[in-house]
Structure 1
Amino acid sequence: MKNKTVLVTGSSRGIGKAIAIKYAKEGYSVIVNCAHREDELLAAKKEIERYHVPCLSFLGDIGDYDVASELFQQIYNTFGHLDILVNNAGISYIGLFTEMSSDDWHKVIDTNLTSAFNCCRLAVPNMISRKSGKIINISSVWGSVGASCEVAYSASKGGIHAFTKALAKELAPSNIQVNAIACGVIDTEMNGFLSDEDKDSLIDEIPSNRFGTSEEVGDLVYQLTHGNEYLTGQIITLDGGWI
């Protein structure tokens, strides 16, 4: 491995952390980020460094363009370039649409969608200059079909799908591939609010008869960013046959 770099946003825990660790195992220099959980972010950094790779951690809300700019300034100052961008930062909101405030709406959209714009806007010029790069956007099946009581979340992920397809077309001539993974139910803290009964009921709906794991998402992300230069603009569903 020759100084390959990957940024995984929202990587202090769950899917993002699993993705970051997968790349560390493969010898990548890794940049991890989250908005609030500094202790967990530093713990993730320490775990990544056990694989004897450089790791840069950055605490900040990348839904804010100025904050994202500070992150990328640190990346370029430290590593000089970015090979792979994984836009994983995301939050959920579950509740009736009629009870959702404007502030709640903007928080979901900024975290799930605007952050991807910010990071891509800051990563793409460097990738274009090098005629090389991979962008993976972590999404959800609700971006394809929508979910009751998750209107803002579904809208943000539907936006990610359209964003992925459009950006892929624009960047293909520069040998930059952009794809998204639409996750089904992954066994993470985000689903911790479910009761055991609710989990059992949900598993009954999934043909694979289980939740997915963060490590499975990490493995798929890694696979998509190696070779596959003709694969771009795709929304790849990872849901055990659920939807």
Structure 2
Amino acid sequence: MGKLQDKIAVVTGAGRGIGKAIAEAFAAEGAKVAVISRTEANAQSAADAINATHPGAAKAYALDVADGAACAEVGKQILADFDHVDILVNNAGVTKDGLLLRMSEADWDAVLDTNLKGAFNMVKAVQRSILKQKGARIINISSVIGLIGNAGQANYAASKAGLIGFTKSLAKEYAGRGVTANVIAPGFIATDMTGVLDEKIKAAILEKIPLGDFGQADDIAATAAFLASAEARYITGQVIAVDGGMVM
């Protein structure tokens, strides 16, 4: 029996990459997973992949988490389909990089609305159920960029840093109900985006990582599975950097 047997998990941004790996890891540990992605095609593809290995473990939902009203409606649908929610993982995120001198208000708003307000929207959508569940978990996926900043990513860094403050506040508000809230801050993770980087850029990045390698989506998923489990019952309000030692 898995660590998350019979738990109901909601994972946003689960159509690919880190979110998909987290959803797969949760299903492998016995959870039922609401797989959320912006597009129906991505959500369904990820859910189908999970169900191929763990029949009936996943259900797909198309949702733009920046839309509060849509989050409320999908939250109702998830509760109708699964009865309750034990675990919420806010992973959905976008980037619209550019130096602040040239950054448009639209690019600022788009990143903050998805990365930060999206987490707020999802918590609001399922919090009443989460607060009723013994040992419920909220896990927000930030970034090392939220800890150290990065030129050309003021909007992304602000959103990811904001997620940390948001999580710490949730941890304090929900502790009385036995609900934990924690942050995972991934470093450079091997994804489709890093795969197209020039070799010189890759080498420059690797020089900043003491372990000398890019992380894998499964590294983040394993951390999320631990934080979601009963073993992590006494951990709340924390930021866990999974970054090969990049931020110390």
Contact 2:44 2:61 in 1 (8 A): no
Deviation of the 1:195 alpha carbon: 1.6
Question: 2 CA distance for matches of 1:226 and 1:4?
Answer: 10
Aligned partner of residue 81 in structure 1, secondary structure: coil
- Which segment drifts farther, 12-21 or 228-237? 228-237
- Which segment drifts farther, 92-101 or 5-14? 92-101
Deviation of the 1:202 alpha carbon: 0.8
| Counterpart check, 1:75 vs 2:78 | yes
Amino acid of the structure 2 residue aligned with 1:60? L
Question: 2 CA distance for matches of 1:128 and 1:19?
Answer: 22
Deviation of the 1:40 alpha carbon: 2.7
| Counterpart check, 1:114 vs 2:126 | no
Q: TM-score, normalised by structure 1?
A: 0.95
Would you say how many aligned residue pairs link Structure 1 and Structure 2? Answer: 242
Q: Which runs of 4+ in 1 moved over 3 A?
A: 190-193
Question: 1 CA distance for matches of 2:98 and 2:199?
Answer: 20
| Counterpart check, 1:39 vs 2:41 | yes
Amino acid of the structure 2 residue aligned with 1:207? P
Question: Structure 1 21/53 Cα, relative in aligned 2: closer, same or farther at 3 Å?
Answer: same
Q: Within 5 Å, give how 1:57-136 maps onto structure 2.
A: 57-136=60-139
Amino acid of the structure 1 residue aligned with 2:37? C
Amino acid of the structure 1 residue aligned with 2:45? A
Amino acid of the structure 2 residue aligned with 1:44? A
Find the partner of 2:164 among 161, 166, 176: 161
Partner residue of 1:230? 234
Deviation of the 1:191 alpha carbon: 3.2
Deviations 1:16-56 (A, max 9, x none): 000000011112111111113x3332211111102123321
Aligned partner of residue 6 in structure 1, secondary structure: strand
Identity %: 40
Task: List gaps (5 residues or longer) in structure 1.
Answer: none
Contact 1:143 1:154 in 2 (8 A): yes
- Which segment drifts farther, 2-11 or 190-199? 190-199
Question: 2 CA distance for matches of 1:215 and 1:53?
Answer: 22
Q: TM-score, normalised by structure 2?
A: 0.93
Deviation of the 1:192 alpha carbon: 4.5
Task: List gaps (5 residues or longer) in structure 2.
Answer: none
Question: 2 CA distance for matches of 1:193 and 1:47?
Answer: 25
Question: 2 CA distance for matches of 1:190 and 1:66?
Answer: 31
Amino acid of the structure 2 residue aligned with 1:22? A
Amino acid of the structure 1 residue aligned with 2:8? T
Deviation of the 1:200 alpha carbon: 1.8
Contact 2:32 2:57 in 1 (8 A): yes
Question: 2 CA distance for matches of 1:133 and 1:165?
Answer: 16
Question: 1 CA distance for matches of 2:217 and 2:57?
Answer: 22
Aligned partner of residue 142 in structure 2, secondary structure: strand
Contact 1:142 1:154 in 2 (8 A): yes
Contact 2:168 2:181 in 1 (8 A): yes
Question: 1 CA distance for matches of 2:226 and 2:8?
Answer: 15
Aligned partner of residue 10 in structure 1, secondary structure: coil
- Which segment drifts farther, 147-156 or 54-63? 54-63
Deviation of the 1:190 alpha carbon: 3.7
Question: 1 CA distance for matches of 2:74 and 2:236?
Answer: 26
Contact 1:91 1:108 in 2 (8 A): yes
Partner residue of 2:199? 196
Contact 1:28 1:53 in 2 (8 A): no
Contact 1:139 1:160 in 2 (8 A): yes
Aligned partner of residue 140 in structure 1, secondary structure: coil
